Structure 1
Amino acid sequence: MKRTHIIKNFAFFFLVIFGVGFAQKNPKEIFQYPPLHAIQMPKIAEAVLKNHMRLFLVEDPQYPTIDIRIMIHTGSVYDPPEKVGLASIAGTVIRTGGSQKFPGDVLDALLETLGARIEIEMDQTMAMVSASFLKEDIDKILEILVDLLRYPLFPEEKIELAKIEQ
């Protein structure tokens, strides 16, 4: 008697649980979805410079800004064992220390005036230099980037600050 009662309760329980699931309508039957827009992939222009650097350009004329990403094959994997963290500190100090033409504090003030951003991130296998700025400032920002990457300064006070922050 008790066993029959338990079996009936289980049967009732499963009928209720599964019945609720089967009684529901499929969302496709309830809602009307508009057709999706076709995805338009942007055209990508590629160029190879004399120094074998590859450039990719993706234009979007609806925005007044330019975003640049420069990836450099370097990183903490090349740090000597006795100088762990060197790449990370170097990446930080290249940006905060500035360059010969644009020392750190001058660079900060100039970027703030232009409403631009330049950042350098270092991970294990690459350095990522990124810049975001208005189209009208491209000549100035490219001048800054070239100077920053070719002639970085490494002021001692910026190195010590980077060591503390790491």
Structure 2
Amino acid sequence: MKKAVFSTLGLALLLSTSTAVASAQEAAPATNGLTPSSVLEYHEQEPNDSFEQANYYFIGDAVIGRLGTEGVPGVWEAYDVYKFKAFESQEVHFTIQGDRTSDSWLQMTVYDSNGTKIKRSRDGRYFLDVELEKGKEYYLAVEVFPGLQFGGRIFDYKVSSEVVR
């Protein structure tokens, strides 16, 4: 009787392991397009208040930031900058989640590597669609519109992006 029970348990274990391996192999092609950067969420690193100090950002990531406080001791945060590269020619949809008041909101602007403005979110919209060229570097700036007053309101935000096409 013991042999029959152990044989049955052994067979069940073998079959379940084989099924799990087969399922993992079938799922593998679906995840081959993912990169570690496409699932990351992280906090900004200060200072990132200029193009020279920009935090690096990967399309598909999400970054959490804060404006309206002292970022680096003695430096007041009114502007955050992120640098990213387009590895393919593609349209990217940026979304920002965060605070909004009746007289101010968060705004995103994309610049090329020379600092020339390409596109800005408008009219309090919390998204921005931008066409990117393969191999080029860009900057994404986050700020409060129409501006922040020193010692005024704090704005927490989260920027995320996804490839549209």
Task: Place the TM-score, normalised by the shorter chain, in its bin.
Answer: under 0.3
Asked which structure has the greater CA Rg, the reply is 1
TM-score by length of 1: 0.27
* Bigger fraction of residues in helix: 1
TM-score by length of 2: 0.27
